[in-house]
């Protein structure tokens, strides 16, 4: 026995488990015999281990307590922890639930705990033998999930719902809730595409792209009311539920086609008033940035490019360029004869700070409970004059008015202030700083003026001296729910909520003066300007709902019937004015002749009846029916109403008698299936109508008479009043399994989502002169699967858990009435926005190779990208590459997305490590992100690896000027860059001060933590570019970097 090592013990334990598994169908009485030997061995091993440990810790004379730990149903609890209170002396139960513990005194108390059960304390009271019954922990077995208009027990849920606890999200220490959700749930694709303060929320797709033209974003409801989740203060979030399948979402009918995210805020709890302060400070750094080359490298590359392209350079020109290169290498820039400006360093900060402070107050008595919170977030950006500040208040109160009436109120107020430079956008400024030529001018010239840059555009000056755009957003929500219980099990509740969102902008544009080599070059932009804007969204929400449940023996039923309506009115206006000679930027001071104003308004209303019936027998056979009858003002009267039903059923196999033999380890085995129909009406207001407008998407149609504006009206679209909802149907099949009372959990899901009647504008010939009307024509399909695996356990002071999720979804357009879009982003049988391009075959080796191989145009030279001729049909020109040689190369979506969370706790320390990744994804970069010299840009150092006869396997083709390089950067398999990645997304290490010390310093609790976000990334993407960010913009490849963060935080409970 002394020879047994810990490893051996663990091996024994696992042998044990596998044997248990393999005898599922055997007579239960036999199994202990089979296992007796190994079991005894295990028992001995464990006992030894803990005795050994205990001996080390305690010198006291020991007495022995023996006992068994059983659950409610008398089944032994394996691996329960028994600890002598106030000591670290403990032991775990064996497979029979038995334990033997040497205690210091028979007057001690034993603390018995096990995952999935409520902790109990049992005084020994001198008994040497104890039998302890553990109650199943309601949290695990009775774990409830927030679903549409109700809460349901997870164990008997039949729809596909993922949920995450608010406290876990808060740990991530990021500004936007959507970003915090990333990787926590399978089938929910979340991508943070920008790190701009105030705009760093992530895009969310649930189970793939759900439409081509209508919205693809899920419906987000906070306490039942539509809202922007990124404006929430994360410390107020109790839970986030995502309704993924039709069964769980169809109760939201016409808005649920892209899934539904339900966010519940925290509520007051009965008990002593408790005040909590949480705060953190974060240092943010870009995850990645490309590295532009210095002046001499650029000049050398330019000369090489001319030579490579066969552009004639006069000897004089060459001599001058070579001298310049030598000078640039030998001397520092003097900002007169030579510029070598590091625009990146001049403009972009190394790091930016973010800090957040929250105070919560909660408490109440049996009649009134409140939860209130105030928080402040301050996030700095990577350039001057770029920041975001947000203040949130929330008050949630619950009151029992009479024995049969309750009132719940929610109110919140948010104010956020975002700032950015007056000229251009932060994203564009950052990118200009990355690609602007170092040779153009200094950031600041010797005469003190700003450098002239590119025709006056100077990113450093734009960031710090071009004025300021200030956006102030406020959000007021006030609402309440009155719930009356006329009879037992019957609730009737009425809810009203009012939401006013105001966006107020004040943009001041101040020109900066530029010079070049001592010559004043004028100012950029040419004129001063002020824009004052206001936009307002008013929403009203009304709900009346009746909930009734009736249980009869093993039959359980519940019914929900409800009515709801909501309306939304959007209005805005704005005025712009110039001529602020005296620099007081208020409309009364400007030149009225330069003023222009605009304003518009639109409204929308929805009305719905919804219902649900749940039936279960013995918690074993589960059935749920949902339906919603929805009316939308987005359609004409006769097409306005739609019915969206769903059905789902589950079978809890583990509750069947024949499964009794496995009950000791298989706590739950459930299979479930659902089918339902959802709608999508989010194509904007008045889509059915043919309207005459003076403005469309910011474009106006005035003409000028007598040098002054005259409003112009136009009808842009043909109208189709007969349009209907987009419809989607979804089939979901799933298995849930829980082992050892929640220690190991598994969920697997498979779904097929079909989207029909998609609203498309199939192109009209230009000669009609109109843009096409909407029509319900397209169909597509998303198929996918999701896996979740979790394991958690505790060994003495050490607790740990791991959850893993993995999912994939494939999109395919199934019907477009034969239409193929010109850019092939829409082709039947392929995903939406699929990539179509050429296949490549390395580079042209030499002129002979050029002459004998197919090519796009006559500009091909050795070192150019060589393409494969695909279309060899009769009549095809075999030496020419054309559109017919384009093939499908892949889709732009993330595949095999995964998230792995490891958490561990040891005594007062806790650690969470979160890894997130994408197994397969491709990105085609364009413009500056791809081509050397694109749009007059500098090179990035990774682009220097270009083809020469000596370097035939270079990453880039031969370096030639942009005007000559078009053939090389065609969308092709060569440039479809692998953007898969694995990322250490988040690590949190916390320490909670022991209660004993806390009470000494008069605190209820104190926790400190350090955390980091995006700490390490493994990827094959372009060097300097982050695989997660979104790249776009006028010159291609533009982005606002997402951040790597380092956080120190503190939570204090008073």
Is the Cβ of residue 177 or residue 959 nearer to other proteins in the bound state?
959
| 715 contacts other proteins (rule: CB under 8 A) | yes
Which residues 458-477 are close enough to bind other proteins by CB under 8 A? none
**Burial class of 612 by CB neighbour count within 10 A (0 to 12, 13 to 18, 19+):** buried
DSSP-derived pairing of the beta strands 219-222 and 225-226: antiparallel
Q: Using the 8-state DSSP alphabet, how is residue 744 labeled? A: E
Q: Which residue bears the tokens 């994804």?
A: 921
Residues 362, 268 contacting (CB under 8 angstroms) = yes
Is the Cβ of residue 88 or residue 565 nearer to other proteins in the bound state?
565
| 526 contacts other proteins (rule: CB under 8 A) | yes
| 440 contacts other proteins (rule: CB under 8 A) | yes
Selected binder of other proteins within 563, 629, 651, 791 (CB under 8 A): 563
Bridge-partner residues for 676, per DSSP? Answer: 646, 730
Greatest CA separation for the chain: 107
Candidates 767-775, 789-797, 993-1001, 1018-1026: pick the segment binding other proteins (CB under 8 A). 767-775
Which residues 167-196 are close enough to bind other proteins by CB under 8 A? none
R_g of the chain computed on alpha carbons? 33
Q: Using the 8-state DSSP alphabet, how is residue 318 labeled? A: H
| 1032 contacts other proteins (rule: CB under 8 A) | no
Is the Cβ of residue 369 or residue 632 nearer to other proteins in the bound state?
632
Q: Long-range CB contacts (< 8 A, 24+ apart) of 52-60?
A: 54/88, 54/89, 54/90, 54/91, 54/102, 57/87, 57/88, 57/89, 58/87, 58/89, 58/104, 60/104
Q: Which residues contact 806 (CB under 8 A, 6 or more apart)?
A: 186, 786, 787, 896, 897, 898
| 544 contacts other proteins (rule: CB under 8 A) | yes
| 703 contacts other proteins (rule: CB under 8 A) | yes
Is the Cβ of residue 313 or residue 353 nearer to other proteins in the bound state?
313
Is the Cβ of residue 353 or residue 526 nearer to other proteins in the bound state?
526
| 870 contacts other proteins (rule: CB under 8 A) | no
| 511 contacts other proteins (rule: CB under 8 A) | yes
In this structure, the number of other CB atoms found within 10 A of the CB of residue 949 comes to: 10
Which residues 809-838 are close enough to bind other proteins by CB under 8 A? 822
State the DSSP H helix or E strand holding residue 851, giving kind and residue range, or none if neither.
helix 847-852
CB of 821 to other proteins, least distance (A): 10
Is the Cβ of residue 88 or residue 718 nearer to other proteins in the bound state?
718
Is the Cβ of residue 186 or residue 453 nearer to other proteins in the bound state?
453
| 565 contacts other proteins (rule: CB under 8 A) | yes
Could you write out the DSSP letters of every residue in 52-112? HHHHHH--SPPEEEEEEEEETTSPBPTT-EEEETTSS-EEE--TTSEEEEEES-TTSEEEE
Selected binder of other proteins within 1, 56, 582, 710 (CB under 8 A): 710
Selected binder of other proteins within 272, 638, 707, 1002 (CB under 8 A): 707
Selected binder of other proteins within 6, 704, 873, 1001 (CB under 8 A): 704
| 884 contacts other proteins (rule: CB under 8 A) | no
How far apart (Å, rounded) are the C-alpha atoms in residues 166 and 235? 7
| 986 contacts other proteins (rule: CB under 8 A) | no
Q: Which residue bears the tokens 């083809």?
A: 947
Q: Using the 8-state DSSP alphabet, how is residue 1037 labeled? A: S
Is the Cβ of residue 509 or residue 678 nearer to other proteins in the bound state?
509
| 879 contacts other proteins (rule: CB under 8 A) | no
Selected binder of other proteins within 26, 768, 814, 817 (CB under 8 A): 768
CB of 772 to other proteins, least distance (A): 8
CB of 562 to other proteins, least distance (A): 9
Is the Cβ of residue 30 or residue 320 nearer to other proteins in the bound state?
320
Candidates 170-178, 437-445, 807-815, 893-901: pick the segment binding other proteins (CB under 8 A). 437-445
CB of 534 to other proteins, least distance (A): 15
Selected binder of other proteins within 537, 690, 803, 941 (CB under 8 A): 690
| 428 contacts other proteins (rule: CB under 8 A) | no
909: left (phi over 0), alpha (psi -120 to 50) or beta: beta
Candidates 259-267, 699-707, 794-802, 940-948: pick the segment binding other proteins (CB under 8 A). 699-707
Candidates 426-434, 674-682, 713-721, 885-893: pick the segment binding other proteins (CB under 8 A). 713-721
Candidates 93-101, 169-177, 204-212, 682-690: pick the segment binding other proteins (CB under 8 A). 682-690
Is the Cβ of residue 24 or residue 711 nearer to other proteins in the bound state?
711
Residue 557: alpha-carbon gap to chain centroid: 36
**Cis amide prior to 1002 (ω within 30 degrees):** no
Q: Using the 8-state DSSP alphabet, how is residue 302 labeled? A: H
Q: Which residue bears the tokens 């150019």?
A: 864
CB of 535 to other proteins, least distance (A): 13
Residue 245 phi, psi dihedral angles, 5° rounding: -100, 170
| 764 contacts other proteins (rule: CB under 8 A) | yes
**Total chain residues near other proteins (CB under 8 A):** 96
Bridge-partner residues for 736, per DSSP? Answer: 670, 747
Candidates 137-145, 286-294, 560-568, 914-922: pick the segment binding other proteins (CB under 8 A). 560-568
Residue 1028 phi, psi dihedral angles, 5° rounding: -95, -30
698: left (phi over 0), alpha (psi -120 to 50) or beta: left
| 584 contacts other proteins (rule: CB under 8 A) | no
Is the Cβ of residue 390 or residue 444 nearer to other proteins in the bound state?
444
| Two structure tokens written together for 922 | 């491709």
CB of 867 to other proteins, least distance (A): 18
CB of 306 to other proteins, least distance (A): 9
Which residues 127-156 are close enough to bind other proteins by CB under 8 A? none
Which residues 396-425 are close enough to bind other proteins by CB under 8 A? 404
Which residues 920-949 are close enough to bind other proteins by CB under 8 A? 936
Q: Using the 8-state DSSP alphabet, how is residue 574 labeled? A: E
Which residues 590-649 are close enough to bind other proteins by CB under 8 A? 593-596, 599-607, 609, 631-633, 637, 640
Residue 246 phi, psi dihedral angles, 5° rounding: -65, -35
How far apart (Å, rounded) are the C-alpha atoms in residues 245 and 190? 18
Selected binder of other proteins within 279, 363, 904, 961 (CB under 8 A): 961
Selected binder of other proteins within 52, 331, 336, 520 (CB under 8 A): 520
SS in 3 state form for 765-782?
CHHHCCECCCEEEEEEEE
Residues 752, 730 contacting (CB under 8 angstroms) = yes
HSE-up of 773 (CA within 13 Å, CB side)? 14
CA distances from 184 to 217, 352, 789 (A): 18, 27, 12
**Burial class of 62 by CB neighbour count within 10 A (0 to 12, 13 to 18, 19+):** middle
Is the Cβ of residue 557 or residue 569 nearer to other proteins in the bound state?
569
Q: Using the 8-state DSSP alphabet, how is residue 126 labeled? A: T
Is the Cβ of residue 9 or residue 544 nearer to other proteins in the bound state?
544
Selected binder of other proteins within 448, 769, 818, 875 (CB under 8 A): 769
Candidates 97-105, 156-164, 170-178, 762-770: pick the segment binding other proteins (CB under 8 A). 762-770
Which residues 292-351 are close enough to bind other proteins by CB under 8 A? 302, 316-317, 319-320
How far apart (Å, rounded) are the C-alpha atoms in residues 15 and 23? 13
Q: How far apart are the first and last CA of the chain?
A: 50
CB of 20 to other proteins, least distance (A): 53
Cα three-residue angle 936-942-945, rounded to 5 degrees = 100
CB of 521 to other proteins, least distance (A): 6
Which residues 441-460 are close enough to bind other proteins by CB under 8 A? 455-456
């Amino acid at each position: 026995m002394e020879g047994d090592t810990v490893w051996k013990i663990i091996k024994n334990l696992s042998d044990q488990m596998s044997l248990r598994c393999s005898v599922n169908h055997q007579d239960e009485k036999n199994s202990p015999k089979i296992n007796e030997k190994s079991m005894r061995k295990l028992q001995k091993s464990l006992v030894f281990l803990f005795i050994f440990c205990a001996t080390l810790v305690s010198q006291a004379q020991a007495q022995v307590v023996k006992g068994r730990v059983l659950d409610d149903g008398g089944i032994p609890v394996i691996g329960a922890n028994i600890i002598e209170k106030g000591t670290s002396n403990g032991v775990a139960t064996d497979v029979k639930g038995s334990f033997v513990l040497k205690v210091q005194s028979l007057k001690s108390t034993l603390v018995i705990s096990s995952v999935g059960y409520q902790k109990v304390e049992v005084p020994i009271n001198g008994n040497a033998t104890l039998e302890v019954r553990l109650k199943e922990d309601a949290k695990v077995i009775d774990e409830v999930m927030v679903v549409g208009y109700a809460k349901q027990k997870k164990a008997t849920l039949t729809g596909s719902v993922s949920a995450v606890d608010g406290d876990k999200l808060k740990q991530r220490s990021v500004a936007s809730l959507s970003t915090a959700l990333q990787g926590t749930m399978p089938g929910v694709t979340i991508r943070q595409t920008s790190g701009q303060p105030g705009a760093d929320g992530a895009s969310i797709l649930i189970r793939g792209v759900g439409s081509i033209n209508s919205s693809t974003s899920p419906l987000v409801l906070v306490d039942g009311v539509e809202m922007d989740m990124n404006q929430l203060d994360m410390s107020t979030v109790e839970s986030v539920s995502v309704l993924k399948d039709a069964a769980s979402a169809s109760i939201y009918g016409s808005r649920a086609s892209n899934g539904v995210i339900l966010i519940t805020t925290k509520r007051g709890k009965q008990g002593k008033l408790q005040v909590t302060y949480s705060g953190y400070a974060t240092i943010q750094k870009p995850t990645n940035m490309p590295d532009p080359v210095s002046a001499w490298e650029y000049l050398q590359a330019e000369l090489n490019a001319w030579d490579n392209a066969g552009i004639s350079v006069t000897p004089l020109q060459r001599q001058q360029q070579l001298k310049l290169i030598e000078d640039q290498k030998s001397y520092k820039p003097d900002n007169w004869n030579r510029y070598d400006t590091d625009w990146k360093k001049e403009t972009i900060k190394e790091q930016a700070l973010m800090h957040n402070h929250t105070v919560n107050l909660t408490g109440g008595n049996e009649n009134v409970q409140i939860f209130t919170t105030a928080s402040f977030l301050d996030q700095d950006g990577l350039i001057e004059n770029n920041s975001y500040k947000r203040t949130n208040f929330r008050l949630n109160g619950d009151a029992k008015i009479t024995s049969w009436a309750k009132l719940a109120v929610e109110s919140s107020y948010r104010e956020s202030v975002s700032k950015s430079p007056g000229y251009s956008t932060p994203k564009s400024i950052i990118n200009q700083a990355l690609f602007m030529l170092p040779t153009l001018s200094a950031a600041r010239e010797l005469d003190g003026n700003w450098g002239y840059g590119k025709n006056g555009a100077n990113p450093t000056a734009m960031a710090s001296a071009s004025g300021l755009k200030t956006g102030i957003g406020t959000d007021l929500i006030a609402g309440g729910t009155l719930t009356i219980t006329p009879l037992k099990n019957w609730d009737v509740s009425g809810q009203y909520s009012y939401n006013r969102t105001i966006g107020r902008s004040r943009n001041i544009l101040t020109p900066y003066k530029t010079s070049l080599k001592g010559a004043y070059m004028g100012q950029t932009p040419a004129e001063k300007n002020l824009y004052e804007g206001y936009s307002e969204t008013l929403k009203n929400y009304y709900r009346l709902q009746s909930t009734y449940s009736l249980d009869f023996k093993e039959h359980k039923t519940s019914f929900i019937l409800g009515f709801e309506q909501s309306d939304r009115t959007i209005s805005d206006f704005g005025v712009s004015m110039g001529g602020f000679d005296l620099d007081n930027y208020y409309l009364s001071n400007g030149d009225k002749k330069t003023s222009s104003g605009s304003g518009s308004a639109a409204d929308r209303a929805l009305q719905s009846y919804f219902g649900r019936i749940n039936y279960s027998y013995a918690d074993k056979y589960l059935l749920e029916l949902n339906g919603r009858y929805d009316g939308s003002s987005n359609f004409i009267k006769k097409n306005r109403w739609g019915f969206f039903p769903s059905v789902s059923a589950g079978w809890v196999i583990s509750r069947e008698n024949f499964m009794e033999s496995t009950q000791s380890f298989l706590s739950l085995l459930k299979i479930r299936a659902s089918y339902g129909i959802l709608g999508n009406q989010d194509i904007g207001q008045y889509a059915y109508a043919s309207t005459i407008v003076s403005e469309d998407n910011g474009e106006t149609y005035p003409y000028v008479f007598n040098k002054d504006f005259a409003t112009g009206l136009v009808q842009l679209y043909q109208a189709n009043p007969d349009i209907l909802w987009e419809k989607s149907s979804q089939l979901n099949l799933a298995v849930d399994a829980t082992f050892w009372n929640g220690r190991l959990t598994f969920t697997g899901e498979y779904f097929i989502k079909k989207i029909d009647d998609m609203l498309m504008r199939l192109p009209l010939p230009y000669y009609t002169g109109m843009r096409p009307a909407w029509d319900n024509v397209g169909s597509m399909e998303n198929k996918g699967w999701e896996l979740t695996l979790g394991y958690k356990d505790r060994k003495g002071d050490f607790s740990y858990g791991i959850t893993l999720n993995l999912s994939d979804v494939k999109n395919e357009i199934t019907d477009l009435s034969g239409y193929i879009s010109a850019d092939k982003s829409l082709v039947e049988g392929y995903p939406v926005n699929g990539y179509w391009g050429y296949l490549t075959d390395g580079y042209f080796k030499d002129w002979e190779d050029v002459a004998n191989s197919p090519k796009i145009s006559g500009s091909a030279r050795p070192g150019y990208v060589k393409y494969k001729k695909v279309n060899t049909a009769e009549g095809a020109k075999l030496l020419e590459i054309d559109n017919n040689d384009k093939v499908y190369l892949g889709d732009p979506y993330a595949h095999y997305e995964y998230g792995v969370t490891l958490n561990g706790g040891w005594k007062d320390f806790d650690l969470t490590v979160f890894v997130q990744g994408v197994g397969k994804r491709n990105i085609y970069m364009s413009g500056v992100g791809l081509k050397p010299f694109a749009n007059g840009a500098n090179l990035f150092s990774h682009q220097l690896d270009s083809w020469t006869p000596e370097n035939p396997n270079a990453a880039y083709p031969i370096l030639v000027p942009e005007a000559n390089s078009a053939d090389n950067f065609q969308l092709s398999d060569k440039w479809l860059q692998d953007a898969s990645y694995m990322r250490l997304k988040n690590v949190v290490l916390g320490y909670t001060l022991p209660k004993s010390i806390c009470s000494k310093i008069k605190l209820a609790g104190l926790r400190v933590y350090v955390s980091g976000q995006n700490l390490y990334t493994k990827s094959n993407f372009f060097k300097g570019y982050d695989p997660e960010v979104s790249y776009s913009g006028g010159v291609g490849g533009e982005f606002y970097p997402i951040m790597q963060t380092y956080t120190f935080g503190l939570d204090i409970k008073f």
